[in-house]
A and B are shown apart, each in its own frame.
Chain A
Amino acid sequence: MKRIAGWILAALVLAGVAWAQSALLINGAGATFPYPMYSKWFDEYHKKNANLQINYQSIGSGGGIKQVTEGTVDFGASDGPMNDDQLKAFQDKHGFGILHFPTVLGADVPTYNIPGVTGELNFTPEALAGVFLGKVTKWNDPLIASANKGVNLPANDIVVVHRSDGSGTTYIWTDYLSKISEEWKNKVGKGTSVNWPVGLGGKGNEGVAGLVKQTPNAFGYVELIYAIQNNMPYGRVKNSSGTFIKANLESVTAAAAGASKNMPDDFRVSITDAPGKTAYPISSFTWLLVPAKFSDAGKRDAIKGFVSWMLADGQNYAEALSYAKLPKEVVAKEKLALANVQ
């Protein structure tokens, strides 16, 4: 019997070791928001290139930046662009830079659970900032009610819900609030994790969604895809042109198109509160982080090949998964920038 155990052990060891690997494995790490999209893309691309396996794991935008800087993965992905310090750190460590390539667009939507209210609410930037700063405490506050005439808002206390884990979703939300509220900018700031003045923290989009669904008078923010896939009610937000826009794939793409005129060459731009009549104001790119130089030509060509495919055929898969595709102006710019990867 001990011998049987011994044989089983030996067989397992051999099974682990003797597997020959002929495909090229490329590892990437980063943002959780685009994970479903990337997994679809890498799967489709693998079908077209059987010898190439791109393994992407969502350990978080910060994790992606860290790991690609450390060199433990071949590329990274982030919902927020790398800041100057991070770019410098990469440059110092590797001797060359790292490039950003927007892939798809996402958006944050305000979602709520008010007893007796079933329709869509309108929110002005002032109302949103007021609620999350803790200054607007009741649902029937004038800041909210004035944009929703005809809706019977109760005099209940608002239960604010935000993200507890660091995330790109929070980054987008706080970036927007920093832009439209001086007080928010000075008091709280923008980042993947902030010191929230009020509110409960839910872990992940599903944590926030769960809390909002279960708690009467709750008010939180989630990713658009999340709200769509889970049939959650969410409100309209007033954009910089003064129109109340509901987030959907068109309005998000419109935000990127509006911002593309002034897009910097490295694509590190925030498109919250973007100009454009139909633009949804709380939108954002998500980026692939690709080192500018590869010592392994095979890996370089594989990644470049993927990015070209992603900009062309890949974009057609986005809508089915509720991701907004890149506007053609941005795609054109990226195709040119791809030549910088050597």
Chain B
Amino acid sequence: MATTTTTVPSAGPVVGSRSFLSRLREGDEIARLITFLFAASVVLVTLLLVFELWQGSVLARHKFGLNFFFTRVWDPIFDQFGALPFIYGTVLTSAVALAIAVPLGIGAAIFLAELAPQKISDTLQFFIDLLAAVPSVIYGLLGVFIVIPLMRQYIQPALKSTLGFLPLFQGPAYGVGFLTAGIVLAIMVIPYIISVSREVLLSVPRDQREAALALGATRWESTWKVVVPFARNGIMGSIFLALARALGETMAVTMVIGNTPTISASLFSPGYSIAAVIANEFTEATGDLYLQALIELGLVLFLLTFILNGLARLMIVATSQKGGGMGHA
């Protein structure tokens, strides 16, 4: 009756010759339609959001044009607005956050999925999920009370004395700055990486591991060279979640980044991010151009996310091998 061609193991659409009527009767067409509507609504909402941002920033866009991307000045009194320091801060803090959170997160996920006995793994996962529930305001406050003093008194001086020849670690150590914001962000995004990666690792079929071990691999080799690549796409998905969270975080970042629109090579320097400046100034902004400049910053962040996501996806496609488990970008 049905000649279906499913490819192992990806789950693509069933291309077959079952008649339309029989599919309809079985409810498949309806299911497809309904789920399609839900999926489409996601795209629609996103487009609507971009549209609103576009509309809401019309004055600013006309006044500044492309210069908005390259101007360093942000002056609400004299109506001069430029996005460059905020773009820099957003990208830098997210990069620092991921640089810390990805190795830590994947490492922890591997531990929880491969090594820990089930009960311990489940319990620890429980607690790590709680990290995702901590309000961003509390993260900000903890950043102020714990991380900033730690940075100013211990970590920044230590980095300066050991790695101070690098431009990354020069300049006065205030405690606030790009590095501090990156660290706080890392803590905030780690639960997403651990949680999703662990689940994906757990769902890798047992025979993959056993095959590797049977061929003489050590435990680590079987994990790192077989299981993790199999779960690659899921892990990358979790990193996308983490990246998005880091790019858009407002409250916590603004409390620890120093809120100074500066571009500096040093991680110790205070800086600013797009989300932070919007959060700081939107409620008080009066005057159409000012408000619209802030909304244009929101649009810029959207563009930034778009580009970063695209680059990341290109990187995945470029480095993916065949047989990498669940295949999609």
A contacts, CB < 8 Å to B: 59-63, 65-66, 83, 85-86, 159, 164-167, 188-196, 199-203, 207, 210-211, 214-215
Contact = CB atoms under 8 A, between A and B. Distances in A.
Given A193-B76, A193-B285, A201 B152 contact: no
Contact of B77 (A85, A189, A201, A211): A189
B78 A195 contact: yes
A332 to B, nearest CB: 31
B174 to A, nearest CB: 6
Contacts of A202: 259
B260 A61 contact: no
B77 A166 contact: no
Contacts, number: 92
Given A199-B260, A207-B144, A215-B175, A165 B284 contact: yes
Nearest to B287: A85
Contacts of B144: 207, 210
B174 A159 contact: yes
A202 B143 CA distance: 13
B89 to A, nearest CB: 12
B254 A203 contact: yes
A66 to B, nearest CB: 7
B78 A200 contact: no
B105 interface: no
A214 B149 contact: yes
Interface residues of B, number: 32
Contacts of A166: 76, 280-281, 283-285
B75 A195 contact: yes
Contact of A215 (B78, B140, B152): B152
A120 B128 CA distance: 48
B258 A200 contact: yes
Nearest to A164: B259
8 contacts: A62-B285, A65-B286, A85-B287, A159-B174, A164-B259, A192-B76, A195-B77, A203-B254
Interface string B69-98: 000011111101000000000000000000
A207 B175 CA distance: 13
B87 to A, nearest CB: 18
A69 to B, nearest CB: 10
B148 interface: yes
B255 interface: yes
A85 B260 CA distance: 29
Contact of B74 (A86, A190, A195): A195
Nearest to B254: A203
B284 A192 contact: yes
A196 B73 CA distance: 10
Contacts of B270: 200-201
B176 interface: yes
A62 B286 contact: yes
A241 B225 CA distance: 79
A188 B287 CA distance: 17
Nearest to A210: B144
B284 A61 contact: yes
Interface string B254-284: 1100111000000000101000100111011
A202 B287 CA distance: 23
A118 B113 CA distance: 56
Contacts of A195: 73-78, 80
Contacts of B286: 62, 65-66, 83, 86, 192
B190 to A, nearest CB: 24
B78 A201 contact: no
B285 A188 contact: no
Given A189-B78, A207-B144, A63 B255 contact: no
A63 B284 contact: yes
A297 to B, nearest CB: 31
A62 B284 contact: yes
A86 B270 CA distance: 34
A191 B148 CA distance: 29
A164 B77 contact: no
